[in-house]
């Protein structure tokens, strides 16, 4: 049965949660929401036209497998609505609503996620990061920071961006985004790319084809080809720097080309051209 409520967010309670994080740690681990909420202040800000269908939350899968996260991202995205469609971008980008949900309607979900994928953290492993988007002891409210840190923010926005990839099944594009959060953030944080469906879709298609899922550890991708031609392996860029540079160069192309006029296929070609130029420059540098 559908149960719609109005969207809310904390006003002054985030700082309280941060200051009491160490004290409340036992309550998070015991999934004792009431003990945490009893120390917070009223009122909360209530959005007039943004709603949550909390009845859908009972269908969330409580483990950290990729399959579960794909399933859960869809439910969370579809549960948050406005009176005329999907949640407004400016609201969905506010860290405050995700902190609120993590400590209210989605608290039990967050605190009971099981570690099915052993080498991947679950929210309870790093409460400050995944519940509060803490970075260096402070709440990072930037879209980039929240997307990397807050667990619910990541699930919602990964699904929202996956919808942009028209040439792929949403499950495929969503799987790539969730498996490559650090790499994907290099594109997502650049609004000239992430706000244009065909541009982002083309980049994801290119990346799925050229960058293996295990690129961090063993996959043979276009980064590894640099190692084959390098006379001094110590001069190689680390993978993160290499891919961040690739994302930056793609974004810079937007200064010469209007990405909005390109199809997904044409955006794939742009990515291939940027890659070719990077490889030529790296060959010159390493020889």
Q: What is the pLDDT of residue 200?
A: 86
Cβ within 8 Å of residue 73, ≥6 positions away:
155, 156, 158, 159, 162, 174, 178
Per the prediction, the chain carries an average pLDDT of 84
3-class DSSP state of 87: coil
Measured torsion, CA atoms of residues 185, 191, 193, 195, in degrees rounded to the nearest 10:
110
With beta carbons less than 8 A apart as the criterion, state whether 73 and 170 touch. Answer: no
The answer to whether the beta carbons of residues 2 and 59 sit under 8 Å apart is no
The model's pTM is 0.84
Do 101 and 146 form a contact (C-beta atoms < 8 A)? no
Structure tokens at 92: 């969905």
Q: How many CB atoms lie within 10 A of CB 85?
A: 7
Whole-number Cα distances in Å, 24 to 29, 38, 41, 98, 262: 9, 11, 16, 18, 51
Q: Which helix (H) or strand (E) holds 131?
A: helix 127-132
- Per-residue pLDDT of 65-113, as tens digits, reads 999 999 999 999 999 987 677 888 888 989 999 999 999 999 999 999 9
Give the pLDDT of residue 62.
98
pLDDT in tens, 130-178: 999 998 888 888 777 787 899 999 999 999 989 888 888 899 889 988 9
């Amino acid at each position: 049965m559908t149960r719609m409520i109005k969207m809310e967010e904390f006003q002054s309670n985030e700082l309280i949660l941060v200051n009491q994080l160490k004290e409340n740690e036992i309550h998070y681990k015991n999934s004792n929401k009431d003990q945490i909420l009893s120390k917070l202040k009223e009122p909360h800000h209530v959005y007039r036209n943004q709603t949550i269908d909390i009845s859908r939350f009972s269908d969330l899968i409580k483990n950290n497998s990729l399959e579960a996260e794909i399933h859960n991202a869809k439910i969370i995205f579809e549960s948050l609505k406005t009176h005329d469609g999907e949640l407004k971008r400016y609201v969905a980008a506010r860290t405050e609503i995700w902190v609120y949900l993590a400590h209210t309607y989605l608290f039990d979900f967050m605190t009971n996620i099981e570690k099915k994928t052993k080498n991947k953290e679950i929210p309870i492993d790093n409460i400050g990061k995944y519940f509060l988007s803490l970075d260096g002891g402070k709440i990072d409210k930037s879209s980039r920071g929240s997307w990397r840190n807050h667990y619910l923010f990541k699930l919602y926005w990964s699904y929202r961006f996956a919808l942009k990839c028209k040439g792929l099944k949403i499950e495929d594009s969503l799987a790539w985004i969730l498996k490559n959060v650090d790499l994907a953030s290099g594109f997502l944080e650049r609004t000239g790319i992430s706000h244009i469906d065909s541009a982002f879709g083309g980049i994801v298609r290119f990346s799925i084809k050229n960058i293996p899922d295990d690129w961090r550890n063993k996959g043979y991708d276009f980064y590894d080809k640099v190692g084959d031609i390098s006379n001094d392996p110590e001069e190689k860029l680390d993978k993160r720097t290499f891919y961040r540079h690739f994302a930056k160069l793609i974004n810079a192309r937007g200064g010469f080309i209007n990405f909005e006029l390109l199809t997904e296929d044409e955006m794939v070609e742009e990515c291939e051209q940027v890659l070719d130029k990077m490889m030529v420059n790296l060959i010159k540098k390493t020889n």
